[in-house]
Copies of this chain bind each other. A is one copy, B any other.
Amino acid sequence: MKKDIILQGDCVQILKDLPSKSVDLIFADPPYFMQTQNELLRVNGEKFNGVDDKWDKFESFEAYDKFCHNWLKECKRILKDNGSIWVIGSFQNIFRIGYIMQNLSFWVLNDIIWAKTNPVPNFKGTRFCNSHESLIWCAKNKNSKYTFNYKTMKFLNNNKQEKSVWNLALCTGNERLKDKNNKKLHSTQKPELLLEKIILSSSKEKDLILDPFFGTGTTGAVARRLGRHFLGIEENKIYIDSAKIRIKNIKTISNELTQAKLEIKPPRISLESLKKVGLLKDNEKFYDKNKNFICTLKQDNKVRDKKELLSIHKMAAKHLNKKNHNGWNFFYVLRNDALKSIDSLRYEYEK
């Protein structure tokens, strides 16, 4: 499988030639089918340059649906069983996209709202200002596995669980690619921060990311920066040329976040193993964090309080008056008269 290249040509045709189950992540920013009618004027009378590109014209919903069904079907085939797909859209097209994806038995994990912090206002005051775009994030099937770097996203969100509404600015300023006349090169260039969240949350280092509507290569640029591979499809040569230069100048970074180091689970080391190396011993006394004696470790690696013999998890839950609790984070032993978490013993074992 080729990597880090841009294939020029018709999206669906090229998709059909790609091998099945070969990519880890797909990001798709298809035409939105805006159906704008008349020229829209700004309040000062100037023409507003929205999306008026050839690639956004379709004859009808039926034609648009058919087009989307075709590329989405191929995407499903090309996606690895444990991969996932993101599609971005707006109210003009997102219902078509979501409907088709569900019918293709993609399994929706989230719909994410990109709430724009600096949207284009509604000049005429005829509706609410359309200040967001929608993304649909799907696993391949209902019971498919998928990558979700939960703790990475939590870390980046002030250590709170990340939500389905993302407040992000539009792509403007230096980030926005310009043509010879210093006008925007592409009418719908997405901000790199958006792609960063997508790629960091749902892929691993060295994963291959497919973008069937590559445009000016935001996906490729961010993929390269975060140490992922990309594969782009794009019809327009001007966009491709621009994307190539853009991506060439990107330097890959590698750190705890790009490597998803935060997602590493604590070592699965049993009480038995800790006993074997002498970090715990039979009949060892277990305390809570306030140094209250709770129970005693027994031979079968269960613990006994005054009444019952239970697993460390059930025992912890019992003393917290809960139904469940992780015993590794509840119990302490005494070492040199000081409390020591039994969880920390697992890390000592590892060393």
Contact = CB atoms under 8 A, between A and B. Distances in A.
B110 A128 contact: yes
A43 B326 CA distance: 10
Given A110-B130, A162-B128, A324 B45 contact: yes
A325 interface: yes
Interface stretch (A18-26, A112-120, A213-221, A336-344): A112-120
A181 interface: no
Contact of A41 (B45, B98, B134, B324): B324
A61 B130 contact: no
Contacts of A97: 95
Contact of A153 (B43, B128, B320): B128
A320 B112 CA distance: 43
A61 B162 contact: no
A121 interface: yes
A150 B6 CA distance: 46
A96 interface: yes
Nearest to A317: B45
Tell me which of A41, A112, A115, A126 has the highest count of chain B C-beta atoms within 10 A of its own C-beta: A115
A95 B126 CA distance: 25
A136 B91 contact: yes
B122 A161 contact: yes
B108 A92 contact: yes
A311 B258 CA distance: 62
A125 B161 contact: yes
A45 B313 CA distance: 11
A115 B115 contact: yes
A7 to B, nearest CB: 29
Interface string A118-148: 0101100111111110101100000000001
Contacts of A248: none
Contact of A102 (B61, B161, B163): B61
Interface of A: 41, 43-46, 61, 91-92, 94-99, 101-103, 108-113, 115, 119, 121-122, 125-132, 134, 136-137, 148, 150-151, 153-154, 161-165, 201, 317, 320, 322-325
